[in-house]
A and B are shown apart, each in its own frame.
Chain A
Amino acid sequence: MNCREIEELGPLYLSGELEEDRKAPFRAHLAECRSCASLIERQIAIDNRLRDAVSTELPDAMAVQQAVHRRIRVERAWRFAAAAAALVFAAVSGYLALRQQPVSRLYADAALDHRLEVMEHQPRRWRSDPAEIEKLAARYELSNVGALAPQGYHLEHAKMCGIDGRPALHLVFTNGSKEVSVFIRARAGSDKVVHAVSVGSEQLAGFGTDRVDAIVATGGSSGECLEFARFAAGVL
């Protein structure tokens, strides 16, 4: 084994992963080569110092754990509510429920995000700069997303999120007194016709285009939600 191999295999040796048949020649080289032995010794010393400096601090994660538990409880409740809503919806329109099996999770996630992030203003990293928002929209080959809202509303901020296990652009519009979420994700087969869904106290309306699926979520009335969605569908 030569010095170059010692340098290459050093990380495996130090992590205890070097196979037995290579460990003996590795150690034999260290016994003969002062330079390589010194390199490995320095690396062990630096590892020990690093471990000592960083491992001693173990932050209190209680607040994070509690937040996760709260969120899990809310999600389970929403999933249950969404499943119940889907059952009612299926009873009214079995055809749609059978055709769009993923709808319940999709709408439940959208309703939950709207509730927690928009209505309850849980802290998130929103983008307010129009240029940054346009960059996010460009991922869906969209531009001028500020024009998706009817008169009186303006685009407040946006961010990327995940709904139904897939990435989506979350846009928030406001008219000063109400806030409306619009979720846009790559087309997965939603009905092109604008249709309304209720999840808890949230009203949602979904529709699809050739490229994207969109969901509008509000805490207002079903009529307002549908009106907003029809306007956005016209623009898209």
Chain B
Amino acid sequence: MFQNDFERLMMPEAPRLLRFARRLTCDIPGAEDLVQETLLKAWRSFRQFREGTSPRAWLYRILVNSFYEDGRKARVVPVSLDDRIPAGANSTAIERLEMNQALDSLPLEHRTVLLLGVVEGFTCREMSEILSVPIGTVMSRMSRARQSLREKLSRGLAAAQGQRDIR
């Protein structure tokens, strides 16, 4: 029963956890290690999981704690937009790349709340539990993160426009 419940509640989250971890660490092998460690920790302490609470929030909390406890540092490698755009990419693909690049260039705290809140769909209250910070801190981080992302995108567009003008 223990193993069945774990498989049913926790293992299906692996792809989403991996997506979040990749964005958090900016390091694909490191993200896989982090998710593996998260799921193993969840398995080891699954008896402490309270039925009725959100298994997703519990897992993300373990992941975030593991990320900070082990002193893992996010390694953001700035990548030139032009380098990442394949020849013949359509405007949707270019927009997505611009967004991904802007997201990766944000400070870790901002990136984390945007990924949790916007991409993974957690509420501010859930994020406050995942990150172990007051809800007011989550709210102000969200506001600043959205603003930073908007500014990065504006600057990226202006730079891309400038390069096109030079050519």
Contact of A129 with B by CB under 8 A:
no
Contact of A68 with B43 in the complex, beta carbons under 8 Å: yes
Whether B17 lies near A50 (C-beta < 8 A) is no
Pairwise interchain contact B114-A67, C-beta atoms closer than 8 A? no
Tell yes or no: B125 within 8 A of A by CB. yes
A11 in contact with B142 given A68-B11, A68-B36 (CB within 8 Å): yes
- B120 CB to closest chain A CB (Å) equals 9
Within 8 Å of chain B (Cβ to Cβ): is A15? yes
Number of residues from A at the complex interface, CB < 8 A? 40
Tally of B interface residues using CB under 8 Å: 45
Of B45, B71, B139, B150, the contact of A8 (CB 8 Å cutoff): B139
A-B contact pairs, 29 of them (CB 8 A): A7-B143, A8-B139, A10-B143, A11-B142, A11-B143, A12-B139, A17-B123, A46-B146, A46-B149, A46-B150, A47-B118, A49-B99, A50-B99, A50-B119, A51-B119, A54-B19, A58-B16, A60-B15, A61-B14, A61-B17, A64-B32, A64-B36, A65-B39, A68-B11, A71-B40, A123-B29, A160-B71, A165-B44, A165-B45
Q: A7-B143, A46-B146 are in contact. List 12 more A-B contacts (CB 8 A).
A: A9-B139, A12-B124, A49-B99, A50-B149, A51-B119, A53-B95, A59-B15, A61-B18, A64-B35, A64-B39, A65-B11, A75-B44
Q: Which residues of B contact A (CB under 8 A)?
A: 11, 14-19, 22-23, 29-30, 32-33, 35-36, 39-40, 43-45, 69-71, 95-96, 99-100, 103, 114-115, 117-119, 123-125, 138-140, 142-143, 146, 149-150, 153
